[in-house]
Amino acid sequence: MTTAGPPAVAPAIALRGINKQFGPVRANRDVSLTVPAGTIHGIVGENGAGKSTLMSILYGFYQADSGEIEVAGEARKIHGPEDALAVGIGMVHQHFMLVDVFTVLENILLGAEGGPLLAGGMAAARAEVTRLETEYGLEVDPDAIAGGLAVGLRQRVELLKALYRGANILILDEPTGVLTPQEADRLFDILRAMRARGVTVILITHKLQEIMAITDNVSVMRAGQMVAHRRTAETTREELAELMVGRQVLLRVDKSRAQPGVTALRAEALSLTDGTGVKRLDGVSFDLRAGEIVGIAGVSGNGQSELLEVLSGIRPPSQGNLTVHDRVIDREHPADAAELRALGLAHVPEDRQRMGMIPAFAAWETAILGYHQDPAYSGPVLLKSADIVTDTESKMARFDVRPPDPQLTSESFSGGNQQKLVLAREIERHPDILLVGQPTRGVDIGAIEFIHRQLIEMRDRGCAVLLVSVELEEILSLSDRILVMFEGRVVGEVDGAEADARTIGLMMANALDAEAVNG
Amino acid sequence: MASAPAKLPAWIDIGLLPLINVALAFVVSGLLIAALGQDPFEATWIMLRGAFGYEESLGYTFYYTTNFIFTGLAVAVAFHAGLFNIGGEGQAYMGGLGVGIACLALDQHLPFALMLPVSILAAALFGAAWAYIPAYLQAKRGSHIVITTIMFNFIAASLMVYLLVNVFIKPGQMSPESREFATSAWLPHMHEALGWLGMEVAQSPLNLSLFWALVCCLLVWGLIWHTRWGYEIRTVGANATAAVYAGIPPARIIILAMCISGALSGFVGVNELNGVQHRLMLDFAAGYGFTGIAVSLMGRNHPIGIILASLLFGALYQGGAELAFENAAFTPDLIVVIQGLVVLFSGALSYMLRGPAERLYLRLSLPTVVEA
């Protein structure tokens, strides 16, 4: 689009006016993109900006509602990955799709066996793979078992798979997310070798330093739209961060200055290591005081979800401890969600469909999830259904849940009304501590304002509120203090009144200089 | 219930579709019978008469129904917790072992009024204990419950043979059976009970266990939909993540649901041993545990549905036996095939017609959908 000069050859990819809608969510809005052949093209944007949707359309996983796709100058209809491969588009997913018990060669051959007997295809493949390996520096033992390879090598197998099938346009979705810095450097060498031989690479990432290090051009997406195209050499990390996050005038919520009281919750060096040994949380420490809202900003997937799970008792911390009032919780002395609720901690989960409610349950059943042991709801044996229904009716009235019918199944409410029901359940307990994850995800505009007002009201009543959101605007307008998370660590703290989107955006991409954070 | 998307109205989902499935099974059975050169309509008539036509046949039908209600409820309770309990057979067998041990130990000392609750309790305890082990392995070690419960059926069968041959066998006889229980451990037959009320009915194995089965239906209904534990069981079954969020420990609920499930299966021992055989013996579980899976699937894991499905399978068992008796062309194997077809269509394929029915229903009701 903005690339100067007429291209000598047709662009490898040209997308025009792509629209894609999922229910009420417009994942892609009139997106256009031109990728010149033989270049490395970066696509950046926050989570949910529509990058993955766009690439899935290009690779045939989804069909666009409208719009055109041109590959090497020819209009194409791509109905599935086979169609994409047929026109030379290959994709390497964030999560590898290898058969663990097969050898590297068998994995590469999978789906391109070339006949009922493997021997012939194997020999041909071995020759071709050897050629590709030397040509691009993609060294990997073809007879090794895929499951036993290191992550970086497994990724190379994915690259080989795509190349073996004749892909000359490669889409890489967050390829360095699982790599060590050294492995990432090796990957970039390979990508440069590919470019030198005319392969076009599309790199989806939210790491700006990678964009600056390797791409020729970069496109920025925000909220489903393509907001800018730049030559990498003519832009800066700061500019990209600003474009990514957006500079719209913030919808400041009316609120007085916080009157923080005593510490209600203290996290000390909280760490969480998952089953594969990856540190999801790495020494997170902070205080949450009564009467303040602390916002956790960060690109999705940097440990915010895990932090909420540890704080709410869903997972015990691997290291460090958590103090709620006087109760110290650590690995040896875990507390489950029920105990934390009894301590006055309420939790509005990030994923209400998966955690906050049971879609098939009636609204009144969802309205007691987590509190079903309360004597007000449950006798010695029987649930007090009639009382619960009445109680749910009054909650629905106070939180304006529509339709106000406790007998409807939870899944039949709209996203906003589901969220109001969950909020009502948690807030009406008058907790001392309220953890809130993505309070307005998938929620209509009208409900957003209502939900924000409720959170401020909770704060003013002396509740300690921890707000996790990928909506930076929401964090900025509600928080009294903002912590920024990156790769499981808290990389910065900013006073809510002084915070601006640009600084936070840079912190979220860990692109702000260390001195600036400390200063 | 939990797995049903709220698209189809209940009368189609739990009324019409099971009926169509059973009808399909009968159509295929009819084709099979015709292919063997027999008249399918005559066979159907013989089966219907054999199941419902006279007092004795009704008694037999309800006697089988009793067993299916127990095992069907057992599968349903586990299913609400998201577990597939294939071990009803072994749990029923062990329940019977519990009844046998209790009766052999106490029948000389206790009157009927005490023997009955003791037998019921023993059946529940042994059935639950047999389900507890797979449940524990699933909850704490992640061993898949389908595999372990299947294996526990075999272990139960072997254990029973060992115990009967080496421990409980009545001295001085060849067949592996215990001595007969004293009459204090006998559950009255229905024809006896009705006789006391002045009603003369034909003799059949049907006994008062049927009432206990119906009480169990009521208890299960109350448990699943009206108690805190039922709420927890359904929460874990629908979504274990949400359960952890709510502070409900899935491991404990898995064990609880499986123990209740095992206890319900165990009651087959009451019907069979207290009610009919009056001794501990081999093979009295006779496939009731497995058929319970089909009963539960067909009854949509709801007690009312389970009663109806049990009645169908009871009628199939009894009518099938009658058919084999009447016409030598219908070997017991063919009866098993017919029963198998019903299990196949209403159990294994019970969701086959769901998709087409949904599409058809949506197309027919499209105008109202748009309005709403």
Q: What are phi and psi of A146, to 5 degrees?
A: -60, -40
- pLDDT (tens digit per residue) in A120-139: 778 888 888 888 888 888 88
Per CB-CB distance under 8 Å, the chain B contacts of A313 are 247
Q: Across the A/B interface, how many CB contacts are shorter than 8 Å?
A: 72
* Exposure on the CB side of residue A23, measured as CA atoms within 13 A: 5
Contact A358 B228 (CB under 8 A): no
Comparing A46-55, A67-76, A381-390, which segment has the lowest mean pLDDT?
A46-55
**pLDDT confidence of B7, banded at 50, 70, 90?**
low
The whole-number pLDDT of residue B4 equals 36
Assigned token pair, A341: 């609720």
In the predicted structure, residue B67 carries a pLDDT above the cut 80 = yes
The whole-number pLDDT of residue A178 equals 65
d(CA A151, CA A168): 23
Comparing A95-104, A313-322, B80-89, which segment has the lowest mean pLDDT?
A95-104
- pLDDT (tens digit per residue) in A413-423: 877 889 999 99
In the predicted structure, residue B152 carries a pLDDT above the cut 90 = yes
In the predicted structure, residue A235 carries a pLDDT above the cut 50 = yes
Contact A337 B6 (CB under 8 A): no
Pairing of strands A66-71, A279-289: unpaired
CA neighbor of B99 nearest in space, from B241, B240, B263, B337: B263
The whole-number pLDDT of residue B158 equals 96
**pLDDT confidence of B370, banded at 50, 70, 90?**
very low
Closest residue of chain B to A375, computed from CA coordinates: B228
DSSP state, residue A1: -
In the predicted structure, residue A114 carries a pLDDT above the cut 90 = no
In the predicted structure, residue A352 carries a pLDDT above the cut 90 = no
Per CB-CB distance under 8 Å, the chain A contacts of B7 are none
The whole-number pLDDT of residue A177 equals 67
Assigned token pair, B179: 């001595």
In the predicted structure, residue B292 carries a pLDDT above the cut 50 = yes
In the predicted structure, residue A248 carries a pLDDT above the cut 70 = no
In the predicted structure, residue B208 carries a pLDDT above the cut 80 = yes
Neighbours of A239 (CB within 10 A): 15
Query: Per the domain annotation, does B51 fall within a domain?
Result: yes
Which residues have C-beta within 8 Å of that of residue B364, sequence separation ≥ 6?
Answer: none
Residue A170 near residue A114, CB atoms below 8 Å? no
% chain B with pLDDT above 70: 96
Query: Per the domain annotation, does B159 fall within a domain?
Result: yes
The whole-number pLDDT of residue B129 equals 98
Query: Per the domain annotation, does B10 fall within a domain?
Result: no
Query: Per the domain annotation, does B128 fall within a domain?
Result: yes
In the predicted structure, residue B317 carries a pLDDT above the cut 60 = yes
CATH of domain A13-245: 3.40.50.300
In the predicted structure, residue B162 carries a pLDDT above the cut 50 = yes
Q: What are phi and psi of A287, to 5 degrees?
A: -110, 140
The whole-number pLDDT of residue A4 equals 44
**Mean pLDDT in residue range B314-327:** 90
Pairing of strands A40-44, A66-71: unpaired
The whole-number pLDDT of residue A278 equals 80
The whole-number pLDDT of residue B2 equals 35
- pLDDT (tens digit per residue) in A171-205: 998 887 667 667 788 889 999 999 998 999 999 98
| Residue ranges, CATH 3.40.50.300, chain A | 13-245, 263-518
- pLDDT (tens digit per residue) in B15-41: 788 888 889 999 999 999 999 888 999
Residue with tokens 């699982």, as numbered in its chain: A178
In the predicted structure, residue A442 carries a pLDDT above the cut 80 = no
Write the residue in A312, A338, A360 that is nearest to B2 by C-beta.
Answer: A360
> Shortest Cα distance from B89 to chain A (angstroms)?
30
CA neighbor of A441 nearest in space, from A300, A253, A344: A300
The chain-wide mean pLDDT, for chain A, equals 86
Helices (H) and strands (E) in chain A, counts: 17, 20
Query: Per the domain annotation, does B99 fall within a domain?
Result: yes
Contact B244 A337 (CB under 8 A): yes
Contact A358 B222 (CB under 8 A): no
d(CA A160, CA A203): 17
Residue B30 near residue B44, CB atoms below 8 Å? yes
> Shortest Cα distance from A344 to chain B (angstroms)?
14
**pLDDT confidence of A516, banded at 50, 70, 90?**
very low
In the predicted structure, residue A111 carries a pLDDT above the cut 80 = no
SS (H, E, C) chain B: CCCCCCCCCHHHHHHHHHHHHHHHHHHHHHHHHHHCCCCHHHHHHHHHHHHHCCHHHHHHHHHHHHHHHHHHHHHHHHHHCCCCCCCHHHHHHHHHHHHHHHHHHHCCCCCHHHHHHHHHHHHHHHHHHHHHHHHHHHHHHCCCHHHHHHHHHHHHHHHHHHHHHHHHCCCCCCCCCCCCCCHHHCCCEHHHHHHHCCCCCCCCCCECHHHHHHHHHHHHHHHHHHEHHHHHHHHHHHCHHHHHHCCCCHHHHHHHHHHHHHHHHHCHHHHHHHHHHCCCCCCCCCCHHHHHHHHHHHCCCCHHHHHHHHHHHHHHHHHHHHHHHHCCCCCHHHHHHHHHHHHHHHHHCCCCCHHHHHHHHHHHCHHHHHHC
d(CA A299, CA A280): 14
In the predicted structure, residue B368 carries a pLDDT above the cut 60 = no
Residue with tokens 């036993």, as numbered in its chain: A148
% chain A with pLDDT above 90: 46
The whole-number pLDDT of residue B179 equals 94
The whole-number pLDDT of residue A515 equals 41
* Beta bridge partner(s), residue A91: A171
CA neighbor of A461 nearest in space, from A499, A502, A432: A432
Best mutation target, A315, A381, A389, A413, to test chain B (most B CBs within 10 A): A381
Contact A336 B245 (CB under 8 A): no
Per CB-CB distance under 8 Å, the chain B contacts of A314 are 244-245
Which residues have C-beta within 8 Å of that of residue B187, sequence separation ≥ 6?
Answer: B116, B119, B207, B208, B209, B270, B271, B274, B275
Which residue range is the domain that position B313 belongs to? 22-371
Classify A431 as helix, strand or coil: coil
The whole-number pLDDT of residue A49 equals 79
Report CA-CA distances (Å) from A163 to A89, A138, B4.
9, 11, 44
**pLDDT confidence of A519, banded at 50, 70, 90?**
very low
CA neighbor of A91 nearest in space, from A21, A10, A19, A165: A165
Classify A13 as helix, strand or coil: strand
Angle value at C-alpha A254, between A251 and A260, nearest 5 degrees:
115
Cis peptide before A359 (omega within 30 of 0): no
The whole-number pLDDT of residue B237 equals 95
Query: Per the domain annotation, does B15 fall within a domain?
Result: no
Query: Per the domain annotation, does B52 fall within a domain?
Result: yes
Contact A314 B248 (CB under 8 A): no
Which DSSP string do the residues of A125-166 spell out, in sequence order? HHHHHHHHHHHHT----TTSBGGGS-HHHHHHHHHHHHHHTT
Total domains in chain B come to 1
Best mutation target, B245, B252, B253, to test chain A (most A CBs within 10 A): B245
> Shortest Cα distance from B201 to chain A (angstroms)?
40
Contact B239 A341 (CB under 8 A): no
Per CB-CB distance under 8 Å, the chain A contacts of B142 are none
The whole-number pLDDT of residue B169 equals 92
In the predicted structure, residue A250 carries a pLDDT above the cut 60 = no
> Shortest Cα distance from B369 to chain A (angstroms)?
13
Comparing A452-456, A503-507, B105-109, which segment has the lowest mean pLDDT?
A503-507
Q: In angstroms, how far apart are the furthest CA atoms of chain A?
A: 80
- Greater pLDDT, B348 or B334: B334
The whole-number pLDDT of residue A122 equals 82
Contact A382 B222 (CB under 8 A): yes
In the predicted structure, residue B136 carries a pLDDT above the cut 70 = yes
Closest residue of chain A to B7, computed from CA coordinates: A412
Best mutation target, A306, A373, A413, A422, to test chain B (most B CBs within 10 A): A373
Residue B226 sits at the chain A interface (C-beta within 8 Å): yes
In the predicted structure, residue B330 carries a pLDDT above the cut 60 = yes
Pairing of strands A89-92, A169-173: parallel
Residue with tokens 């009235």, as numbered in its chain: A397
Q: What is the CATH number of the domain that holds B355?
A: 1.10.3470
Contact A361 B239 (CB under 8 A): no
Classify A250 as helix, strand or coil: coil
Classify A428 as helix, strand or coil: coil
The whole-number pLDDT of residue A254 equals 73
CA neighbor of B292 nearest in space, from B70, B32, B49: B70
What is the helix (H) or strand (E) element at residue A241, kind and residue range?
Answer: helix A237-245
Residue A327 near residue A343, CB atoms below 8 Å? yes
In the predicted structure, residue A280 carries a pLDDT above the cut 80 = yes
> Shortest Cα distance from A380 to chain B (angstroms)?
9
CATH entry, A263-518, from 3.40.50.300, 3.40.50.80, 2.60.40.1840, 3.20.20.70: 3.40.50.300
Best mutation target, A361, A387, A421, to test chain B (most B CBs within 10 A): A361
Contact A373 B235 (CB under 8 A): no
What is the helix (H) or strand (E) element at residue A417, kind and residue range?
Answer: helix A415-427
Query: Per the domain annotation, does B17 fall within a domain?
Result: no
The whole-number pLDDT of residue A354 equals 86
> Shortest Cα distance from A479 to chain B (angstroms)?
25
Contact A338 B247 (CB under 8 A): yes
Pairing of strands A263-273, A319-324: antiparallel
The whole-number pLDDT of residue A252 equals 59
Closest residue of chain B to A381, computed from CA coordinates: B227
In the predicted structure, residue A36 carries a pLDDT above the cut 90 = yes
**Polymer length of chain B:** 372
